[in-house]
Structure 1
Amino acid sequence: MGQQAASILTVQQYLDEPPRPQAGRGRSAKTPIQRLIFFLASAGKLFEGLVIFMIGMALPLITEDFALSSAEAGLVTATSLVGILLGALFLGHLSDELGRRKMFIAEMVLFTVFLAGFTISPSLPVLLACLLGMGMALGCDYPTAHLMLSETMPTSSRSRTVLGAFAFQAVGAVAGATLAVVVLSMPNASVSSWRVMFGLVVLPAALVTVGRFFTPQSPHWLLTRGRVTEAEDALARILQVRGEKSAGVRLDALPASQRVSESYADLFRHDGSLRATILASAPWFLQDLSTYGIGIFTPVIIATALSDPFAEAADAQDSVSGVVRDSLVGAQGAVMIDLFLVVGILVAIHFVDRFGSIRMQIVGFVGCAAGLGIAAASAVVPSATMQTVLIFAGFITFQFMTNAGPNAQTYLIAGEVFPTSVRGTGAGFAAASGKAGAAITAFLFPTLLDGFGQTPILIGLMVCSLAGAAVTSRFRIDTTGKNLEVVHEVGQALPLTVEPDLYA
């Protein structure tokens, strides 16, 4: 490829059609650096699913260990989600200011340090502080990991790659439930076993932290900052086109008007940014109200549904034994149900390019509502066996549909509907909106469950799912399979009037 031809290509054009593919490797195949980025981004989502959902498994143990009230138990589950909200909102914004790579590393350092502190927490305040720190690190990972992937991958495989990494959130949920079952099945299991459950994650987190130091900076971001030579070097490293200059990477500097870093206020302009912000944020808020409420408290609800009155009587004089037993029963039931999170995300990865993220999000929201309705119907069935069947069927349907639809697609959409200069800020704001819904649910759920029972809560969450489908349909923007540089005019805000099929 000649120097003149190379100089007029954009970053994404190089990613879509490398100037010098390696022998035996097709243009669409990932390079070792792209595979490394995928693995490290996937690890972040795995840790989120593992830690957040394992808190649900460990909550009865932590409650007993620290003698917590219902309100304090709600605070434990909500604190990490508040941390995710703050991390996505404020640390995610720094990925636009300081660069994707710096925050990609920093967030995992914070996560590892606070995770280690969490396992040895001597009191509730220390435990809450560590949960907040872990949450902020995971919140930063929402926009940053997404952008590290979407800004280094070809257009043809971008959606599948991002969703492939996101799939590890579901893998983490299953892994967390499985880890809880293993630890709680040990002969010496006690209320302090939750420390062992989380402590086993510290070393893997430290290894992922080290790995992230070997990743390159996003060439898209470098170009928006006017750092052309660094962008060329980062792109060459990603594509493995080191060599003679004539076969190397050449990029043109962006005009100054396209290199201005945007602010939160720009997310609400009436030139299309507001539409993108609503689409990215409102459905995610509504989706997380349900997903985290069901996900975190599935073990509690399952343990209640499968409670054995004879075992409870035997444990009446030993509250510790009863707590461990109930936690184990809940964890075992959650493992089976959470497996459908994995099945759902596999369906999302397979069909996203065929049907588009918008259509899959709408169908997924409707399916979530159906699952919640099935679970709610258990309240009007007289047979205890049928009640249990309906609860399991409803939760399985919900877990499958949420990962095939809104839980996966909101993450994907939020990282694609904003231009490069504000992509971290916009995706972070959307993730923070979702975690606001998750934190509200987590904090209120224990109290509401005690005061009203599960049926009114399930009906309320069903209405939220239907509202999510309506908002997605009203503000739809379809970016699936489209070059984001073309969609956003290489850094400009998304206008209201663009290609007709963009809103199809």
Structure 2
Amino acid sequence: MTARHKRFVNVMALGNFFEIYELFLMSALLSTLKETFSLSGISLSLFLASTVVGGFLGAVVVGRVADRIGRRGAYMITLSLYSAGTIACAFAPDIWTLIACRFVIGVGIGGELPVTDAYLADILPPARRGYYAAKAYTCAHVAVPVVGFLSLLLVDKAPLGVAGWRWMFAIGSLGALLTFFVRRGLPESPRWLETVGRSAEADKVTAVFEKAAEAEGWRPPPVPVKEEAGPPPVEKRLPVRMLFRAPLARRTALMALLWALGPIGYYGFSSLASLALQAKGFDLDSSLTFMTLSFLGSPIGSYLSMHIVERAERKWILCVALLAMAAIGLAYGYAQSAVMITTLGFCFTVVANIKTNATHIYQLEQFPTSLRTTANGWLFSLNRLSSGAAPFYMVPLFYGVGVGAVYMVGAAAMLLAATAVAFGVRTRGLSLENINTASRPEGSPTAALIPSPHTRATTRKP
């Protein structure tokens, strides 16, 4: 793990900062926008669903595009969409324009996260993959308390005569533009280059990492004589149908269930929190204060995940976090005092971010290079689809039955997800090739297409 690796991780974190900023923006702005645009019924549900429906489309399309044109090109697409949509939101004259713009933002966000996961998997060494992937998300999750504090400063004010909520959208768009220019210096993934037959380019990128490592004291192992006769075999491009055949089918199904159930457990806290607190009798200022204090748990939970993910198997970390989310979320739904609401909200955010980071890390390790962003995108799209559907049954449940019912449904979803994850594969500390050859019958189609764990381990450019 070199300084160059770390610099690229920081670049990824910068982009993700503004993606997370946007994802949590609605928690802070929902009450204000609801009053500003007189949102209710179908208009409220459409507004809440617009970003996540766009995210569904972005994850499906951009994820597949990234496996066809490369990770770097896909990044430019997602950031362009996000930047354009966010600045347009700041000038939106009516709710329908705002809904359309947030749909465009959703397409950008939906494509961004799967590509980020694939890129981190492609460049990080196995022994530190979990730690530095979690670090990228930890830096990004600093955006959550930033959203909270900005909402306290801006939401109910109008600097220079412009509504505070418009300023918050503008801040997000300027950050995205900055990220666009910074990310232009990212190299293409050498793993992806190799799968599409661009081995010379892959070697050039790998050589840059090697030179950085040598400058820090690393020395390459000698090349065995038997390897000098010809180039080592490389991973071939796999057809998409392999995601639905053994051994990948089980992984696809498990992660699909995890992504689909996740929003149900988190929705009441992330999108309905301000409404739930107002329903308990707290005014807008008090609600925003409680949420801001709760949001402080986001970077803390993400930071803790950095030191946990390499100490235990990913799936067991996920199981414990999901069970904790069920218990804490249920208690939060029925809490009445300010102290309990703030404490439980903080604890829920801590555990939820451990779960989120572990989910991303666990998924980015399970699929071969040529299908990695396709799998990530399709699976993440289920998260967007589930989030998009949530307003249409969670909002009526909230108004019809009460706050407690929303959190009870969420707890049940987390229990089911934890049960499914327990049947997942082991990934901690293993090379991507090792993970993708494990548990495969000898002579199976994918066994012939994906090299063994030690195929390239003895060459100078792994």
Report the equivalent of 2:351.
401
Q: In structure 1, what residue type is equivalent to 2:346?
A: I
Q: 1:236 to 1:66 in 2, by over 3 A?
A: same
Unaligned runs of 5+ in 2: 453-462
Flag the 1:227–1:186 CA change in 2: closer, same or farther, 3 A.
Answer: same
Tell me, yes or no, if the aligned pair for 1:88 and 1:140 is still in contact at 8 Å: yes
Provide the C-alpha distance between the structure 2 equivalents of 1:153 and 1:399, rounded to a whole number of angstroms: 27
- Listed as ranges, the matches of 1:63-142 within 5 Å are 63-142=34-113
CA distance in structure 1 between the aligned counterparts of 2:344 and 2:45, rounded to whole angstroms:
24
Q: Note if contact 2:157-2:164 (Cα within 8 Å) is conserved in structure 1.
A: no
Q: Percent identity?
A: 23
CA distance in structure 1 between the aligned counterparts of 2:298 and 2:168, rounded to whole angstroms = 21
SS in 1 for 2:377: helix
Counterpart among 134, 144, 147 of residue 118 in structure 2: 147
Q: Compared with structure 1, are the counterparts of its residues 432 and 293 closer, same or farther at alpha carbon in structure 2 (3 Å cutoff)?
A: farther
Deviation at 1:300, TM superposition (A): 2.4
Correspondence list, 1:40-439, <5 A:
40-184=11-155, 186=157, 192-240=163-211, 258-263=235-240, 265-269=241-245, 271-305=246-280, 307=282, 326=284, 328-378=285-335, 385=337, 388-405=338-355, 407-439=356-388
Matched position secondary structure for 2:282: coil
How far off its partner does 1:493 sit?
4.5
* Aligned-partner Cα distance in 2 for 1:289–1:142: 19
Kindly tell me: are residues 188 and 364 of structure 1, through their superposed partners in 2, closer, same or farther at Cα, counting changes over 3 Å?
same
| Contact 2:265 2:409 (8 Å CA) reproduced | no
Could you tell me how far apart the structure 2 residues matched to 1:187 and 1:300 are? 22
Q: Deviations over 1:433-464 (max 9, x none)?
A: 12222222244333321111111111111111
Post-superposition CA distance 1:284-337 (Å, at most 9, x none): 2212222233112222223443525xxxxxxxxxxxxxxxxx2x4322211111
Secondary structure at the counterpart of residue 123 of structure 2? coil
C-alpha distance 350-241 of structure 1, shift in aligned 2 (>3 A): closer
Task: Report the TM-score when normalising by structure 1.
Answer: 0.80
Quick check: 2:189–2:202 contact (8 Å CA) kept in 1? yes
The CA deviation at 1:141 is 1.1
CA distance in 2 between partners of 1:110 and 1:340 (Å): 29
Indicate how the Cα distance of structure 1 residues 359 and 248 shifts in structure 2: closer, same or farther if over 3 A, else same.
Answer: closer
Look up the SS of the partner of 2:118 in the other structure.
helix
- The amino acid that maps onto 1:266 is M
In the alignment, the residues of structure 2 paired with residue 242 and residue 453 of structure 1 have an alpha-carbon distance, to the nearest angstrom, of 57
Read off the aligned partner of 2:316 and give its amino acid letter.
R
2:455 maps to none
Partners of 1:66 and 1:83 lie apart in 2 by 21
**Aligned length in residues:** 436
What secondary structure sits across from 1:287 in the alignment?
Answer: helix
In the TM superposition, what is the alpha-carbon distance from 1:362 to its structure 2 partner?
A: 0.3
The Cα of 1:131 is off from its aligned counterpart by: 0.7
Shift of 1:240: 3.3
What is the CA distance between 1:391 and its match in structure 2?
3.5
TM-score by length of 2: 0.87
Contact kept in structure 2, 1:44 and 1:138, CA below 8 Å: no
The question of whether the paired residues in 2 share the 8 Å contact of 1:368 and 1:462 is answered with yes
CA distance in 1, matches of 2:300, 2:97: 37
After superposition, the C-alpha distances for 1:449-481 in whole angstroms (9 at most, x for unaligned) are: 11111111111111111101100012x112111
2-structure distance, mates of 1:202, 1:376: 34
- Tell me the CA shift for residue 266 of structure 1: 2.4
CA distance, structure 2, for counterparts of residue 357 and residue 340 of structure 1? 21
Kindly indicate whether the alpha-carbon contact (under 8 Å) linking 1:280 and 1:427 is maintained by their aligned counterparts in 2. no
Tell me if structure 2 keeps the 8 A contact 1:241–1:248: no
Name the residue aligned to 1:449: 398
Q: Does 1:31 align with 2:31?
A: no
Task: Look up the equivalent residue of 1:154 and give its one-letter code.
Answer: P
What SS is found at the alignment partner of 1:478?
A: coil
CA contact (8 A) 1:372 1:461 kept: yes
C-alpha distance in structure 1 between counterparts of 2:64 and 2:270, whole Å: 28
Once residues 282 and 446 of structure 1 are traced to their aligned partners in structure 2, the CA distance between those partners, rounded to angstroms, is 23
Distance 1:249 1:288 in 2: 50
Instruction: Specify the alignment match of 1:5 in structure 2.
Output: none
Say yes or no: does 1:477 pair with 2:425: yes
Residue aligned with 1:240, SS:
helix
- Give the Cα–Cα distance (whole angstroms) in 2 for the partners of residues 453 and 484 of structure 1: 46
Please report how far the alpha carbon of residue 411 of structure 1 lies from its aligned counterpart in structure 2 after TM superposition: 1.3
SS at match of 1:353: coil
Q: Could you list the per-position Cα deviations for residues 112-139 of structure 1 after superposition, in whole angstroms to 9, with x for gaps in the alignment? A: 1111111111222321121111111111
Q: Distance between the aligned counterparts of 1:68 and 1:347, measured in 2?
A: 38
8 Å contact kept, 1:289–1:440: no
Shift of 1:354: 0.6
* Alpha-carbon distance in 2 for matches of 1:67, 1:190: 21
1:88 positional shift: 1.1
